[in-house]
Structures are given as structure tokens and as C-alpha cells.
Amino acid sequence: MDTAEIRRRFVAHFEAAGHTAVPSASLLVPDPNLLFVNAGMVPFKPYFLGQETPPWPRATSVQKCVRTPDIEDVGKTTRHGTFFEMCGNFSFGDYFKAGAIELAWDLVTKPLADGGWGLEESRLYPSVYEDDPEAVELWKQITGLPDDRVIRLGKSENYWSMGVPGPGGPCSEILYDRGPAYGADGDFGAEDRYLEIWNLVFMQDELSAVRSKTDFDIAGALPKQNIDTGMGLERVSLLLQDKPNMYEIDVVYPVIAKVEELTGRRYGADPVDDVRFRVVADHVRSSMMLIGDGVTPGNESRGYVLRRLLRRAVRSVRLLGYEDRALPELFPVSRDRMGETYADLHRDWSRISQVAYAEEDAFRQTLRTGTTIFDTAAAEVKTSGGTALSGERAFALHDTYGFPIDLTLEMASEQGLEVDEAGFRQLMAEQRDRARADARSKKGQHADTAVYRGILDERGPTEWLAYETLETESRAHALLRGGQQVASLASGEVGELVLDRTPFYAESGGQAADAGTIDFDGGTLEVLDVQRPVKGLVVHQVRVLDGELVPTAPLHARVDPEWRTGARQAHSGTHVVHAALREVLGPSALQSGSFNRPGYLRLDFGWSSALGAQQVRDIEEVSNRALRADLPVGWQYMTLPEAKEWGAIALFGETYDAGQVRVVEIGGPWSRELCGGTHVEHSSQIGTIVVTGESSVGSGNRRIEAFTGVEGFAYLARERDVVGELTTLLKTQPDGLVGRVADLVERLRTAEKEIEKARLQQLLASAGSLAEAAEDVHGTSLAAHVVAGAAGGDVRTLALDVRQRLSGERPGVAAVIGTGGDRAAIVVAVNEAGRAAGLSANALVRAAAQVLGGKGGGKDDVAQGGGADASLADDALAAVRRAVLDGAAGS
């Protein structure tokens, strides 16, 4: 049975049992504790936590998931991967343990002809929490299994919590016995033998303190008992397809088969190669799904995970012997299998493939560059007598050049060196800690949301009126400082204020928060920032300008109208530029991020190459033509499927309400996007759009920046003033300005060339006198000189000329050091007689460079180097003189 059919039967089974089928959510999740959706229940967390009311009493889904904590271990086991699909059924206060057990057991054991999976009952073992006798009896009663077939396990295996105070409860797993070839009888810790395929979580407890997975307090029973289950689709597929591991099922193995074709190697022939085959198959699929949901390669957060996956895949193919571009061969294979379920992969293929292939090209260059840098580092370690590459060097290769640590380890081993892995891991951990601290510090104290949830539970949600008005009469729900509620805020203090109603727009969807003031009797607050730390609650970061604020004071909240006008222009302008971008470049140029504040916008989009000047002008022109057309701007609410059917663009990285979403359109179908921001009513109200720059923000991602409204006109006015000053200075008209400047630049270049020619002639003219001044060092003519202001190329030219002028009959050495600024460049040239006498330019330049605090090298006839301390130039030449003396004496 293929995976698509297994998935279809799962959904049909639960739909027939009254569940609403919910489409998979995006892999990107707004949870600050998660990079990606890592379990099927994640999209339903607000319902389980009581933050939102579920729209259905029972639901079922097949959710895309990615788990990446142990990427290095992928392929080493045969049941874990980074991307997987989790089938689940969920009850929100509807059925409980008996219902969940009945539904799961029925699907697992029902004959194939009746729409089930037909797994043998004799191979199935339910596991339960050892302190849940109710579940034991239910399993025996519903399935008819004897007591010894129901396995009792402890908290670490069969009790579930989210790791924080909140809902929790015992769970039951369905284990499948794969037989003695996979482990010992009765050893239920042997996961290969007793494969867990389904986990049924019985949410019944309220946890008040969670200190670890097995150490927590149970405060009491939940008001409603919920069911959350998770069934690994890939695990059931390997059983029903009779495969030994998940890498050989129908949606994964075709990539392995393609790698076999490309490399000529065979899967199953070598254990080391098998790990590489599995890494490629897993990472290609995971990367494709992440790019499909809007992730682009980068050096931070989600982008860094994607970059690692792509580069590990490319590296593994290379280790299998394939040196050409691999992803264009492999990605389409995975697309064709996964695209049967996820049609977006076909629709967005141009963008997905463009991002992936550009990253491979960048990594291939990285491999070339990194290999050179590694070779230099390895040579230095060997020269110094060391045996290990430092953790700092390995980290620099990884962090600066994207060089994988496994590649560093392998190449070091090939050269007989070790790597300070402990030091590398420590530096990696410190980097992760800094990233986490930075994420927690952003937007104030919003990392720990417990205090805000308490306010929401006690006082209710904030009535948000940003669409309706710029002013409200309000009351304080709470005052906070340092993440804790306080009784007052004094003059000069910065704190947080939660209102019962507010006109302020909270930062979201790329739009900056509103600015403004909040007045109270005897004082004024300046609004610095506005955020939504939890859904339904609006938190204002404020500074008390005067007076003392207490929670009981009546408040008058007022948004700065000029700020809001500029914000509306910029946000609508972002939509216009996005539509223009797609019109000029094509539909694959999709927004991947944005930010707008009054008068300014920036828009990131997936694109692999820099835009030409004409393309940028075209985007600006299309945008401003849309403004001149005075296109109507409107919005309406609908369900997410309706919005997608209508052609609305759902932006990458954003999450949308499962019920109603807001669609903003400009000029009808010309621009339709899901958006919760504030907007103008007609496009002409944007004023103008002036594109000020286009740049790269990472592999496969570009950025456009622009000014709007008054700020756009101000930018153009400044440009006009610059043009006016230049035309006056150069005594020409604006139309002739470019030609006039071009003429001046050409004349300047000609003059510089003449000066350079004269300077070089003067420099070379000194070669004769330098050669004549050569001293005799034990039978060798040594011309050693310091030339102030000479650069590397000049030094080489001069040294070669001096060597030519030395007598060819006797050994000769020309050593010239150029001092430009603080640095020094040195070139040593040895004539044929000198080389015959055993003198080497390579050895001589190394002796000098070491004195200069640098390095050098080359061949026996010519070598060059440099150093950071030009003040030691005379000492460096003295080192050359000693080396010549030793060499000449030795010969």
C-alpha cells in the first residue's frame, strides 16, 4: 500500500467518525520556543491551552513536521528523519480514552478490504502509563488482549506534557513487534524490534510545575478532558510496504535510487555509504518542504537549518563520488513523489528550485574557498609541530565560510591531524546561547508569556480598535515593569501597560507599531512600542513623561495621526511593490519578508540574481502607474481556503487564523494578499514610491527598499539639489551632467595611467643602481633594499629587474621590501647560478616574512610574502642576509 493510500485511509476513517479534516498547517510556527512545527498537535495548542475556542469538537489532520536537534545523527538510525508526516485525531472535550482506543485499534486492525490497515493483532502491543489502571482495563476490554499483552511503562515513556505548566496526562502507545531479527523478545526498550507507530495522549491533568520530563506537580484535573494522538505516517508505511526502514518507502527511496544512478554505487553495499545515501534522501525532501513553506538559506534561525540540510545533502553526494551539480537531479525526483499530496510543490516549483540550486552553487564555491583555507591552516599546524587544528579554526571555517565540521574532521584525518572538537562544540554552544539571548531580548519581556496569560485569564482580552479609530477612552488592565505587575509607574520610568481597549496598531505582518501618547489626570505617557505577546492581549511599552500612573486612572489613548498616515502609505506601498515585482519578474518572485514604517518600506523576495538597473526602473514605474490609476483599496474576511481559491497570496512565515482571514486587495485581482495591516483607501493616497536600493540578503534572497509619501518626495528633492549643485559646479545643464562627469572621469583615469607609467619608469630606473650596490656575501651577490611606498606588484617587478642585472656568472639574490603604510611586502628572486649553489627564494622569503610577522612562499627562483610590521623591514633583510650566508657557506 503506497503512502498516499495510507494517508487517505487515515483521514477517511476519522471523517467517517465525525471528525473535521483540517489541512496541514505551514511548517513555520509563531511559537517563540519552536523553529518549526515538530508535532501534529502544535497547530492545535491554543485549543488545548484554553487560549482559543476550538471551532470543532473533534478534528483530524496529517501535519507536516520537521525536527532538527540531531541532524548529525540522521541516517545512522533507520527510523528517524528530519521531515516527517504526523497523522492525528483530536478531541476537545468530546470523547476520551475509550473513544481514542476504539478508533485507533479499529483502523490498525481492520482488514484491507474494509478500508483499514490490516496489521496482525498478534504483533501489536499497547503500552500504558504504569499508574493508569483505567487505560489497562480499557485496552483489555476493547481489544480482547490478555493482561500480559498490555505493557506498563513509567513516566519517561508514557506520560506527556509540553514541558511547561499546563495540560498533561498519561498516554498509550501502540507498538508493533517486527520480530527477533530486530531485537530480543520482551525488550520493549528496543525500538527497532517494538516499533512505536501511534501515541494516544489522554490530557486529563493540570500541571502546576514542570521541573523535568519525570518531575512535576499535578494541581488537579483539567476542566475538559482532551485527546491528542500522533501516528507516524512513515513508520506505518514501512510496515505496510514491508521495508526494513523509512528510507526505503515509496516517497523517500526514489531519491536513493537516483543517487545510485548518478554515483554508480549501490545502497546496501557499504554501511558508511548507506548513511550518506539516507542523509541525501532525507535532507533533499526536508529542504524541499521547508523552501516550499517559505524558508530561504541563511546564517540564522530557520535559514541556518535549511542551509545545513542542503549543504549536508550536497556534501554527502560528493562523498559518494558525484562532483557535478546534484540538486537539479534530485529535487525533481522528490517533488514528483511528494507533489502527489502537496500540489503547492508543483505550482511553486520555479521558486523552490531556484532557491535550492542557487544554494548548491554557493556551497560549491564555499568548498573551493574553504578547502584552500583549510589547507593553509593545516600547513601552519604542521609547521609549528602541532597535531591538532584548534576549535577556533574549525569554528571559523564553519561560521565564516559555511564549511561543515564533518568535512573539517575528514580532511584533517586525511592529513594526519586531529580537531579540537570539544573546543568547536563549546564555541557553537556559546553562539547558540547568544542567539537565544538575543531572541529573548527582542521586544522586551515577551519571551515568558505566563504573566500575560494570567492577565488575559483574569481581565479578558483587549478590545482592539485600530481599524476604527485613532483615539479611545480606556482603562488599565495591568501595569508591568521588568516582567512583573507593579502598583504604579513613576515619572521617567519605562514599563508596560495593558489596556481594556486601544486604538494602537500592534507590530505584526511587517508593519511597525503605532506611535502616540496616552494621557491621564496629571500626566502623559509616550508610547514606545506595541506588541501582542499572547493572542487577544495588546501590550504597550510606555515611558512616563510626567506624573505617576496608577492602574485606576482613566486614560485617553491617542495615535499620532501623522504616524498612522505614513504607516498606511508604506504598508499599502509594500503591497503595490510586491504586485509590481511579480508583474516585472514573474509569479515566482514572491515576498519572503517585509518591514514598513511611516515613509519607508523594504521587501525581501526569493530571487537568485541581482536585478538590472532597467528591471528596478520597471518595478518603480509599474508601482507609480498603479498610484496614478487611483486603484481602490479594500478588504474583506473569508476562510483561508476561500482566500486561496480567490487567488490571495499567503505570505511565507505568517500564520493565519483557522477561521476567518482578512484579504486586502488593490485594484481587484492585481494585488490580493492576506494581511492584517492598516491601509490607504485608494492607491493615489500613497503619494509616490521611490525605489532607493536593491541588494542581496542571503543566497537566493533579494531586498528592495523604497520611500513613500512625503519621505519619497523629500528624497527626490535631495536628489534634485545634488544635481543642481553639480550642474553649477561643472558649468553644464542637467541633461549634459552624465556626459560631463564621464568625460572628467576618463580624463582622470588617463592622468592616473600617465602618472603610474612615469612612477614605474622611475622605479625601474633605480634597478641599475640597486644592482650595482649589491654586496658580496661569501661569494654571492646580494642586492637587499627597502623601497618606501612600493606596493606588492611594484616590488615584484623591481626584484626581477634587479636579479636580471646581477652577474649571471656568480650566484645572485635580489631581496626587495616595499613599505606602504604599516604593512610590508617582500619579494626574493634568485638567479640560476644561485639556485645551482643551493639557494632557494622560497626559503629566503619565509625567513624574512617570519620577522615581519607574516608568511610567504613560492618557488626556488621567485617567492613573495608580507607582514604586518613594516618597521622591522631592515631586520627582515638582515634575516635574508644571514640565510644567504648560511646557504653560501654550506655550499
> How do residues 439-449 score in pLDDT, each as one tens digit?
444 444 444 57
Do 844 and 880 meet the contact criterion of CB atoms below 8 Å apart? yes
pLDDT for position 445: 42
User: Based on the domain organization, do 218 and 143 belong to the same domain?
Assistant: yes
Report the number of distinct structural domains present in the chain: 5
User: Based on the domain organization, do 261 and 288 belong to the same domain?
Assistant: yes
Give the per-residue SS3 of 341-392: CCCHHHHCHHHHHHHHHHHHHHHHHHHHHHHHHHHHHHHHHHHCCCCEECHH
Q: How far is CA 710 from the centre of its chain?
A: 35
Query: Does residue 402 lie within any of the structural domains?
Result: yes
Integer Cα distance of 235 and 309 in angstroms: 22
pLDDT for position 448: 59
- 349-383 and 301-319 are packed helices; what angle lies between their axes, rounded to 10 degrees? 70
The reply to whether 87 sits in an annotated binding site is no
Q: Name residue, grid cell 505566563.
A: 450
Do 533 and 539 meet the contact criterion of CB atoms below 8 Å apart? yes
The reply to whether 446 sits in an annotated binding site is no
Q: What is the CATH number of the domain that holds 507?
A: 2.40.30.130
* DSSP character at residue 249: S
Q: What type of residue is 800?
A: L
* C-alpha cell at position 513: 507599531
- 405-414 and 301-319 are packed helices; what angle lies between their axes, rounded to 10 degrees? 40
Q: How far is CA 416 from the centre of its chain?
A: 34
Query: Does residue 746 lie within any of the structural domains?
Result: no
User: Based on the domain organization, do 554 and 570 belong to the same domain?
Assistant: no
Where is the domain boundary, 441, 467, 487? 441
Do 686 and 709 meet the contact criterion of CB atoms below 8 Å apart? yes
User: Based on the domain organization, do 259 and 353 belong to the same domain?
Assistant: yes
pLDDT for position 535: 85
User: Based on the domain organization, do 274 and 231 belong to the same domain?
Assistant: no
User: Based on the domain organization, do 588 and 697 belong to the same domain?
Assistant: yes
Largest CA distance in the chain: 108
User: Based on the domain organization, do 419 and 494 belong to the same domain?
Assistant: no
* C-alpha cell at position 702: 533579494
Query: Does residue 748 lie within any of the structural domains?
Result: no
Integer Cα distance of 72 and 305 in angstroms: 12
For the chain, residues with pLDDT lower than 50 are 439-447, 891
Q: What string of DSSP letters covers 574-594? A: HHHHHHHHHHHH-TT--EEEE
User: Based on the domain organization, do 69 and 31 belong to the same domain?
Assistant: yes
Query: Does residue 384 lie within any of the structural domains?
Result: yes
pLDDT for position 654: 56
Exposure string for 776-797, b = 16+ CB within 10 A, e = fewer: ebeebbbbbbbbeebebebbbb
> How do residues 818-849 score in pLDDT, each as one tens digit?
887 678 899 999 999 999 889 999 999 999 99
Query: Does residue 820 lie within any of the structural domains?
Result: yes
φ/ψ of residue 528, rounded to 5: -95, -30
pTM: 0.66
Helix (H, G, I), strand (E, B) or coil at 142: helix
pLDDT for position 538: 95
Do 92 and 226 meet the contact criterion of CB atoms below 8 Å apart? yes
pLDDT for position 649: 83
User: Based on the domain organization, do 406 and 544 belong to the same domain?
Assistant: no
* C-alpha cell at position 274: 548507506
User: Based on the domain organization, do 289 and 229 belong to the same domain?
Assistant: no
Query: Does residue 727 lie within any of the structural domains?
Result: no
Q: What is the CATH number of the domain that holds 854?
A: 3.10.310.40
The reply to whether 65 sits in an annotated binding site is no
Domain enclosing residue 637, as ranges: 564-718
Where is the domain boundary, 376, 410, 441? 441
pLDDT for position 446: 43
The reply to whether 578 sits in an annotated binding site is no
Do 365 and 699 meet the contact criterion of CB atoms below 8 Å apart? no
Q: What is the CATH number of the domain that holds 168?
A: 3.30.930.10
Where is the domain boundary, 496, 530, 559? 559
Write the CA distances from 45 to 37, 166, 659, integer angstroms: 11, 11, 15
* C-alpha cell at position 577: 511593490
Query: Does residue 736 lie within any of the structural domains?
Result: no
Query: Does residue 728 lie within any of the structural domains?
Result: no
User: Based on the domain organization, do 237 and 326 belong to the same domain?
Assistant: no
User: Based on the domain organization, do 539 and 586 belong to the same domain?
Assistant: no
